[in-house]
Amino acid sequence: MTHILNYIDGALSPAVSGKQLPLTEPSTGLGYGFMPDSDGYDIDRAVEAAQRAATAWNKKGPVFRSSWLNKIANAIEEKLESFALAESKDTGKPLSVARSVDIPRAIANFRFFAGAILHDASDAHADRPGELNYTLRHPLGVVGCISPWNLPLYLFSWKIAPALAAGNCVVGKPSEVTPLTAHLLSEVCQEIGFPAGVLNIVHGTGLAAGQALVDHNAVKAISFTGGTTTGQTIAASAAKSLKKVSLELGGKNPTLIFADADLEAATDTAIAAAFSNQGQICLCGSRILIERPVYDKTKALLVQKAKALTVGDPLAAETRIGSLVSKQHFDKVLGHIALALGEGGNLLSGGGRVLVEGRCEGGHFLAPTLLEGLGPACETNQSEIFGPVATLQPFDSVEEAITLANDSRYGLAASVWTTNLNIAHHVSESLECGMVWVNCWMLRDLRTPFGGVKESGVGREGGTYALRFFTEAKNVCIKTY
């Protein structure tokens, strides 16, 4: 049995109340350990430790902080395999994905912000005679980072690395569904002697530990990734103390395939965009829009490629689709499929549970599911399902494609497939979202703005956007003569 502990002031400890929550491995359905069921008392302890550490951490300067972030990255890299195994066990995702995507990306996040803070610069406005304005950027002090279960260490590190680099101390609250790699991170921090109190990790539910973090008066900002409804609750709570918030929320992203596209490449990537991580990525392309002249051909390719994906034990090398993250989430996604069929959807592939024999017979596996025949207004094309479910819709013109793509309360990302440069530019400009990939999907440069519009969130992460979020600007104006 694994016993996860909080990491507060450099030490590992249970919740003050002694309460624990059970942990389940989704691919087997079996319990594997316990984690602290922390509450406001644990958050208070963590915030106090962070406050004590804040001045020294900031005053040591960027070179010092950068070197510590690199030490964390190196320490995770040395244990990459055990981190990958833990991430796969906790989420049900294929080990190959955790090993090649999740953990390398977490390492890259620490390294990227270790470098970014060394090259960060502030503004000066010195072009008016007799006046000099310059902008100081102060860290906020103590900040809260709340992360979800789909890419646990990847998204946790995407928040804490810029916060620490910018000179803040952090109280992190990883998802209670997948706390294991955050716990391994705290062990790594202890092993390398990371300064006590600079990073604190408190485990528990959103309602108890998460809400206490959001409500804490000494916490100056909340960076959150998760569901839109939770984001709205957090924004409303944070408004009471006028905390800064960065909210990276849900998506219902379109993949637009025009008739002139390279259909092999487009369908390969559309399948990856729909089903990677079991469809549990905010960037997943769950609405595939296809220009009518190539609709039938594209559909045939998509169905063939969806059916070819191997669903199975996350530890098996050939597995492409693992288990959904929990029984609760599995039931929710199955409910969406039933609703889609009720709405008149025509099932092209998948549609139900996959029984994986042996070790994983109690797991929550779903076949990659494609549906057609559903209009833009139906629930299936409006709700974020967050599972391996995508719909196909035809369109007849560029303008219709744009209208269909924008017919969503979400606006996170889009993937556009065309060899026509004019279409690529016009569609990219017209889409209501924060990120457009043309002839690709999820190709990431960590300097670029990451985030969405409409109900997909508020603010941007990445590069200087994150460093700006985690600092407060102060202008100094000097009359020089």
Selected from 210, 314, 350, 394, the binder of ligand TXE by CB under 6 A is 210
**Cα–Cα distance, 54 to 76 (Å, whole number):** 24
Catalytic residue status for 248 = yes
Site size toward ligand TXE (CB under 6 A) is 26
Burial bucket for residue 2 (CB in 10 Å: 0-12, 13-18, 19+)? middle
Residues whose CB is less than 8 angstroms from the CB of residue 331 and which lie 6 or more positions away in sequence, other chains included = none
Per DSSP, the three-state class of 116 is helix
Pick from 24, 88, 109, 150 the residue near ligand TXE by CB under 6 A: 150
Q: Compute CA distances 425 → 257, 267, 387, 400, 466, whole Å.
A: 14, 21, 30, 16, 27
Shortest spacing between CB 237 and ligand TXE, in angstroms: 7
- Which of 65, 173, 243, 252 lies at the binding interface for ligand TXE (CB under 6 A)? 173
Which one among 386, 410, 417, 441 touches ligand TXE, defined by CB under 6 A? 386
Among 219, 249, 348, 356, binds ligand TXE (CB under 6 A): 249
Only segment of 89-97, 173-181, 192-200, 289-297 that touches ligand TXE (CB under 6 A): 173-181
Closest-approach residue to ligand TXE (CB):
206
DSSP string, 74-85: HHHHHTHHHHHH
Shortest Å distance, C-beta 421 to ligand TXE: 32
Instruction: Single out the catalytic residue among 176, 248, 384, 461.
Output: 248
Closest C-alpha among 18, 359, 17, 78 to residue 3: 18
Q: Does 91 bind ligand TXE (CB under 6 A)?
A: no
Q: Which residue from 92, 94, 226, 322 is in contact with ligand TXE, where contact means CB under 6 A?
A: 226
Q: Is 248 in the site for ligand TXE (CB under 6 A)?
A: yes
Q: Is 225 in the site for ligand TXE (CB under 6 A)?
A: yes
Angle at 459 between CA 457 and CA 464, to 5 degrees: 145
- Could you give the residue ranges of the DSSP H alpha helices within 343-385? 379-382
Closer Cβ to ligand TXE, 242 or 477, answer by number: 242
Among 40, 62, 195, 227, binds ligand TXE (CB under 6 A): 227
Catalytic residue, candidates 145, 189, 282, 360: 282
Least Cβ distance, residue 470 to ligand TXE (angstroms): 18
For ligand TXE, give the closer residue by CB, 14 or 250: 250
149 binds ligand TXE (CB under 6 A): yes
Question: Between vectors from CA 271 to CA 426 and to CA 404, what angle results, nearest 5°?
Answer: 40
Residue 175 binds ligand TXE (CB under 6 A): yes
Q: In what order do the strands lie in the sheet with 285-291?
A: 346-349, 369-372, 389-395, 285-291, 253-257, 413-417, 435-438
| Distance in angstroms (rounded) separating the CA atoms of residues 267 and 269 | 5
Q: Which is nearer to ligand TXE, 171 or 271 (CB)?
A: 171
Contact with ligand TXE (CB under 6 A) among 51, 58, 233, 430: 233
As a whole number of angstroms, the distance between CA 132 and CA 20 comes to 57
Of the pair 225, 255, the CB lying nearest ligand TXE is at 225
* CB-neighbour burial class of residue 191 (10 A; exposed 0-12, middle 13-18, buried 19+): exposed
Edge-to-edge strands, sheet with 471-479: 124-125, 131-139, 471-479
Q: Is 392 in the site for ligand TXE (CB under 6 A)?
A: no
| 357: annotated active-site residue | no
294/389 with CB nearer ligand TXE:
389
For the CB of residue 81, give the shortest distance to ligand TXE in the complex, in Å.
25
CB of 2 within 8 A of CB of 180?
A: yes
**92, 250, 279, 285: which one contacts ligand TXE (CB under 6 A)?**
250
Position among 21, 116, 208, 214 found at the interface with ligand TXE (CB under 6 A): 214
Give yes or no for a contact between 279 and 325, defined as CB atoms under 8 angstroms apart: no
Counting contacts by CB under 6 A, is residue 221 touching ligand TXE?
no
For residue 349, what is the enclosing H or E element? strand 346-349
Which residue stretch of 26-34, 47-55, 248-256, 366-374 sits at the interface with ligand TXE (rule: CB under 6 A)?
A: 248-256
Q: Could you say whether residue 93 binds ligand TXE (CB under 6 A)?
A: no
The bridge status of strand 142-146 relative to strand 219-225 is: parallel
| Residues 304, 356 contacting (CB under 8 angstroms) | no
Q: How far apart are CA 205 and CA 85, in angstroms?
A: 24
Within 272-291, the residues that bind ligand TXE by CB under 6 A are 282
Residues facing 474 on adjacent strands: 136
Catalytic residues: 248, 282
List of residues contacting ligand TXE (CB under 6 A): 146-150, 173, 175-176, 205-207, 210-211, 214, 225-227, 230, 233-234, 248-250, 282, 384, 386
